[in-house]
Amino acid sequence: MTKKLLEMRSITKEFPGVKALDNVNITVNEGEIHAVVGENGAGKSTLMNVLSGVYPYGTYSGDVFFDGQLCRHQGIKDSERLGIVIIHQELALVPYLSIGENMFLGNEQQSRGRIDWHKTHQKAQEYMRIVGLEEDPHTLVKDISVGKQQLIEIAKALAKNVRLLILDEPTSSLNESDSKNVLDLLLRLQEQGVTSIIISHKLNEISYCADRITILRDGATVETLDNKAAEIPEARIVKGMVGREMTERFPTRSRAIKDEIAFEVKNFTVYHEQFTDRKVVDNVSLKLHKGEVVGIYGLIGAGRSELAMSIFGQAYGTKASGTVYKDGVPLELNSVPDAIKANIAYLTEDRKGSGLILSNSIVHNLTLPRMDFVSRRAKIDKDLERKTANHYRESLDIKTPSIEQLVENLSGGNQQKVLLGKWIFSQPDVLLLDEPTRGVDVGAKYEIYQIINELVEAGKSALFISSELTEILGMCDRIYVMNQGRIIGEFLAKEATQEIIMHCIMQDSKGEIGA
């Protein structure tokens, strides 16, 4: 007989001006992998924060039962004592501490009131072995890949005697190979009796590992689907999430690419910021025509983001060399303001850390790149600034009660629209888009794709970086493939396939190993 491990009944949670959860109900059975899906702002992360004690009892209404007992958590420590452990989308690891130190941070292995370092590193190795990670526990976290960091987070949870593991977008920063490793690990842990809740916008991953799927929309429960009895089609899940059929994932675009080269990079080389003898971008050359979306695909560590940031006014790296041309004219881009003045925009993959000022309002974030556009006689025209912000709020369909709302109170998808709006406001001719749809749902993705299409149809050019091959193939006209900091292939999108691109990378990597 199936045993209920978790019941959340009539959960309601409000923030100023927003009802984030409205009478939500969810049941999770012992030993299952339960997916929670919905558009950005549907309330998924808020619900998990209620469950884990991030939002303590008294700040919401409704009841949480775990293993038949009523829970009134006042913090994360209360939920962890029961074996409920949450891994947030932004990994909570300290880069300059070792793997072992991170794994037991806040859960120190002690002997007579002092940390037992031998026991710490021994146990770290035990849990790393469980998740299939072969690393020295003395290694600093900053020196390992993001995929391995995700496995450390899971190992860290196992070290807390986890019974219910909550993963919020665990694969959003991972390539397809690392993502599959994480999902396969969840399936292995399930065989060992660990129950999991996974939040993800990648519906193919949900179909791959989830037993049941609960769909939230506008803060309310829509339905729970049984994926174990018969695999639920993605289109069925999408309909529940957005409330309508979505027949196409990528909007059509009238492709009017001009012969004119709008932007060109020649023989560009950049070295690592800390390890200044290590090349991260190696003699890269590429070009964008007016009205063209050009993709860059590569596995994590290929140098895609480093290339985009270093082009954007040397925002990354040291000893940069090579030439950047715009409309055939060489540019001196020695700083970010230089790049902005040259009408180049860079949309970062890290919207929370580098792209937005979360504690500031929407209006301030939107107008920040070009304050001179909303100023008169060196003084900000508040009325013009508000009028401008309201224009982008409407045109980008940013869901918010007011442009004075703090950005930190917006859903991930709406934060991404503010980030995109900020750079559109700067009136760029060239957009460097680094993972422009990371962590946003299928509906918000479609809206962002439409915005990009409208920009290039108006004659702009876009360099589109993504870890999702389907997105690269669906949105781009031409595709550059990167590996080890180098361009190793160039394909027309209409002639490319996932197999062709991955074969290109594998062949190059084989050459690297044999060299």
- Between 10 and 40, the more confident residue is 10
pLDDT for residue 502: 84
pLDDT for residue 247: 62
- Cα(24)–Cα(418) distance, rounded to whole angstroms? 28
- Cα(61)–Cα(52) distance, rounded to whole angstroms? 15
- Cα(501)–Cα(390) distance, rounded to whole angstroms? 42
Please give the angle made by the CA atoms of 335, 341 and 345, to the nearest 5 degrees: 80
**Whole-prediction pTM:** 0.69
Confidence at 133, pLDDT banded by 50, 70, 90 = confident
Task: Of 125-129, 226-230, 439-443, give the lowest mean pLDDT range.
Answer: 439-443
Tell me the pLDDT tens digit for each residue of 250-291. 888 887 788 889 999 999 999 988 788 889 999 999 999 999
pLDDT for residue 363: 94
Distance of CA 145 to the CA centre of its chain: 15
**CA dist 85 → 27, 155, 167 (Å):** 17, 11, 9
Confidence at 511, pLDDT banded by 50, 70, 90 = low
Tell me the pLDDT tens digit for each residue of 381-422. 999 999 999 999 988 888 888 999 999 888 778 888 999 999
Average pLDDT over residues 335-359: 91
pLDDT at 474 over 60: yes
Tell me the pLDDT tens digit for each residue of 210-266. 999 999 988 899 999 998 877 788 888 888 887 766 667 788 888 778 888 999 999
Tell me the pLDDT tens digit for each residue of 480-508. 999 989 999 999 998 999 889 988 988 88
Name the pairing type of β-strands 61-66 and 4-15. antiparallel
Question: What DSSP element (H or E) covers 316?
Answer: none
Please name the fold of domain 248-343+428-515.
Answer: Rossmann fold (3.40.50)
3-state secondary structure of 281: strand
Q: What phi-psi label fits residue 394: left (phi over 0), alpha (psi between -120 and 50 degrees) or beta?
A: alpha
3-state secondary structure of 384: helix
- Cα(302)–Cα(458) distance, rounded to whole angstroms? 31
Which DSSP string do the residues of 488-500 spell out, in sequence order? EEEEEGGG--HHH
pLDDT for residue 181: 84
- Residue ranges per domain, the chain? 4-242, 248-343+428-515, 361-427
Cβ atoms within 10 Å, residue 156: 24
Tell me the pLDDT tens digit for each residue of 63-121. 999 999 999 999 989 999 999 999 887 777 888 899 989 988 877 888 877 888 988 88
3-state secondary structure of 161: coil
Task: Kindly give the residue spans of alpha helices, DSSP state H, lying in 26-116.
Answer: 44-52, 76-81, 99-103
To the nearest whole percent, how much of the chain has pLDDT over 70?
Answer: 97
CA proximity to 366, closest of 318, 319, 415, 307: 415
pLDDT at 513 over 70: no
pLDDT for residue 269: 96
pLDDT at 293 over 90: yes
Tell me the pLDDT tens digit for each residue of 182-196. 899 889 889 989 999
- Cα(196)–Cα(190) distance, rounded to whole angstroms? 8
CATH number of the domain located at residue range(s) 4-242 in this protein: 3.40.50.300
- Looking at every residue in the chain, the average pLDDT score rounds to 88
Tell me the pLDDT tens digit for each residue of 14-46. 887 678 899 999 999 999 999 999 877 788 889
CA proximity to 195, closest of 53, 56, 3: 3
